[in-house]
Amino acid sequence: MSVLAFDLGASSGRAMLGRLNSRAIEMKEIHRFPNDPVRIGDRFQWDILRLYHEIKQGLLRAKGEQELPASIGIDSWAVDFGLLDARGELLMNPYHYRDPATEGVMERVFREIPPAEIFSRTGIQFLPFNSIYQLVSIQQLRPFLLQEAGSFLMIPDLLRYFLTGEMESEFTNTTTTQLYNPAARGWDEELLRKLHLPSSIFHSVLQPGTLAGKLRESVTGELGLPPIPVYTVAEHDTASAVAAVPALERSFAYLSCGTWSLMGTEVERPVLTERARELNFTNEGGVYGTFRLLKNIMGLWILQEAKRSWELEGVLYSYSELVMMAEAEPAFACFIDPDDPVFLPAGDMPKRIREYAARTNQKPPQTPGAIVRCIMESLALRYRQVLELTEELSGQAFKGLHMVGGGIHNESLCQWTANAIGRPVWAGPAEGSAVGNMAVQWISLGELSDIWEARAVIRDSFEVRVYEPADIPLWEEAYGLFKQRTGGNTIQQ
């Protein structure tokens, strides 16, 4: 039985058709499109109508395939949302989580509500772009939007609403707002009240795998399709990626590697200790009653932006060229803390890396190869640091690390990660989010019995490449240097 997964990332989206043939998944990309955010003045927004247009293009392509999908699911990056009026019309283009307007908002909110209270209510890490701070920023800059708003819908909820006419929120993505209370199993009324946010705009929260509607008449008419059912999946892309981790053991560590690197483990209940808050770990909602104890690491974003800077200077490198140039450079010449806030906004990363090096008494890397080497080694060492913290917080010991997501195409990064952690890396599948999206649909359709059967099928269907650790003493020494040069234990943010 085939299902259709729309998986939207921060730089591109894809429509994947998956077929389950007696415990083997076959996947086909039927549509891929860029997701280019739009800068107007100093604001940074998503082109949501274009994304909806591309979703319709994906549906049209599915029509051309031999078998129509039995259902549809959408996942995307987290935290961003649209506000709609009482008639259900969009009031604004959703802002990009890297829009600068949230700068300083989190600190202002802390004057009203102490961070310890926000964390104990939500279990969510403090990132300046969480929906809670975006909403407070809108309240300050464009208060009429909240006065007019009838509904708050996150990106996949919004696109699902466009397709079905039904407005509902989905659990995994909702938790990333930092406005959801897992103990109360609902939006946190107290936080909303204290921040003077209208609780009436928030919709009921469905678990992943719920039938959320069918393609509405205007869509079936326009595209010439039957009313295909639309399910909530794990609509946060990271939640879908974690669902697709082909683990055999119940206790496992993962790294979802794309624009962001999300590292952590799956837990039965949120870890709300003071230590978890201090380390700025999060407890995002997962599939089938689980939570994702994890931490955001800035990830390949720094490399993507560096590549873009060189392009603006007129030099176009491919990722494989950049990685080859990095491999030719001497090892461990310079380290950055990838999670330093200077690397969060879009911009000239080579310059910021050189400034970081100068600030921390290191020789600034000059060539693209040296810069890429610095980024990749620093990421691998940061992964080790966060893996150790995940073990500390969860009280587990991991034999190795599962890596999923497009970042695993960077083989040196996988190898260096294995070296840094001194344990094997199991890399695959690269299309983790799309596979997890499909798995939840198949479970709802009764084709797979549960998430553990799904994980076993995923393991049998996709290549999982093993990277054994090498050069362990060298990396051990580098880890010491990394910690020293990046300011000891850089656990914030």
φ, ψ of residue 318 to 5 degrees: the values are: -90, 165
Q: What are phi and psi of 121, to 5 degrees?
A: -80, -35
**Residues binding ligand LFR: what is the number (CB under 6 A)?**
12
Between residue 264 and residue 323, which ones bind ligand LFR under the rule CB under 6 A? 296
Rounded (10°) angle between helices 319-327 and 301-312: 100
Question: How many C-beta neighbours within 10 Å does residue 19 have?
Answer: 17
Query: Which residue in 170, 237, 377, 431 binds ligand LFR (CB under 6 A)?
Result: 237
Which tokens in the block code for residue 351? 């310059």
Instruction: State the nearest-atom distance from the C-beta of 99 to ligand LFR, in Å.
Output: 12
CA distance linking residue 195 with residue 132, whole number of Å = 9
* CA distance readout (Å), 60 to 47, 63, 143, 225, 366: 20, 5, 39, 8, 48
CB of 296 to ligand LFR, least distance (A): 5
* Alpha-carbon gap, residue 58 to 74, rounded angstroms: 12
- Smallest gap from Cβ 43 to ligand LFR, in A, equals 17
Select 74 or 448, whichever has its Cβ closest to ligand LFR: 74
Q: At closest approach, how far in Å is the CB of 260 from ligand LFR? A: 4
Backbone torsions φ then ψ of 31, nearest 5 degrees: -160, 135
Coil/strand/helix, residue 262: strand
Minimum CB separation of residue 241 from ligand LFR in Å reads 8
- Rule CB under 6 A: choose which of 134, 174, 238, 283 binds ligand LFR: 238
Q: Which stretch binds ligand LFR (CB under 6 A): 40-48, 254-262, 355-363, 436-444?
A: 254-262
Look up 80 and say whether it is catalytic: no
Residue 260 interacts with ligand LFR (CB under 6 A): yes or no? yes
| Cα 454-458-460 angle, rounded to 5 deg | 120
> Helix, strand, or coil here: 460?
helix
Is residue 282 within 8 Å of 267, Cβ to Cβ?
A: no
Say whether residue 97 binds ligand LFR (CB under 6 A).
yes
Q: Residue 456: CA atoms inside 13 Å, Cβ hemisphere, count?
A: 9
C-alpha closest to that of 293 among 268, 329, 313, 327: 268
Q: CA-CA distance, 85 to 420, in Å (whole number)? A: 51
- Of 50, 271, 76, nearest in space to 170 by CA: 76
Q: Are 81 and 129 in contact (CB under 8 A)?
A: no
Active-site annotation holder among 237, 337, 339, 340: 237
Residue 347's SS3 state is coil
Stretch near ligand LFR under the rule CB under 6 A, chosen from 55-63, 199-207, 235-243, 326-334: 235-243
Q: Are 157 and 131 in contact (CB under 8 A)?
A: no
- Tell me how far, at minimum, the Cβ of 237 lies from ligand LFR, in Å: 5
Segment interacting with ligand LFR, rule: CB under 6 A, options 12-20, 73-81, 138-146, 424-432: 73-81
Of 15, 109, 154, 262, the residue at the interface with ligand LFR (CB under 6 A) is 262
Q: Which residue number, 125 or 385, has a Cβ lying nearer to ligand LFR? A: 125
**Residues 117, 110: contact at Cβ < 8 Å?**
no
Closest separation in Å from C-beta 239 to ligand LFR:
8
* 79 touching ligand LFR, by CB under 6 A: yes
Radius of gyration of the chain (CA): 22
Nearer to ligand LFR, 36 or 450 (CB): 36
Those residues with Cβ within 8 angstroms of residue 313's Cβ, 6 or more apart along the chain or in another chain: none
Pick from 6, 77, 152, 291: which binds ligand LFR (CB under 6 A)?
A: 77
How far apart CA 293 and CA 337 sit, in angstroms, is 21
Contact flag: residue 155 with ligand LFR (CB under 6 A): no
If binding is defined by CB under 6 A, does position 44 make contact with ligand LFR? no
CA distance 393 to 294: 10
- Which x/- pattern, by CB under 6 A, does the window 187-226 give for ligand LFR? ----------------------------------------
Whether the Cβ atoms of residue 236 and residue 169 lie closer than 8 Å to each other: no
Provide, rounded to whole angstroms, the least separation between the CB of residue 226 and ligand LFR.
32
Cis amide prior to 429 (ω within 30 degrees): yes
Per CB under 6 A, residues contacting ligand LFR are 77-79, 97, 236-238, 258-260, 262, 296
Q: Give the residue numbers annotated as catalytic, written as ranges.
A: 237
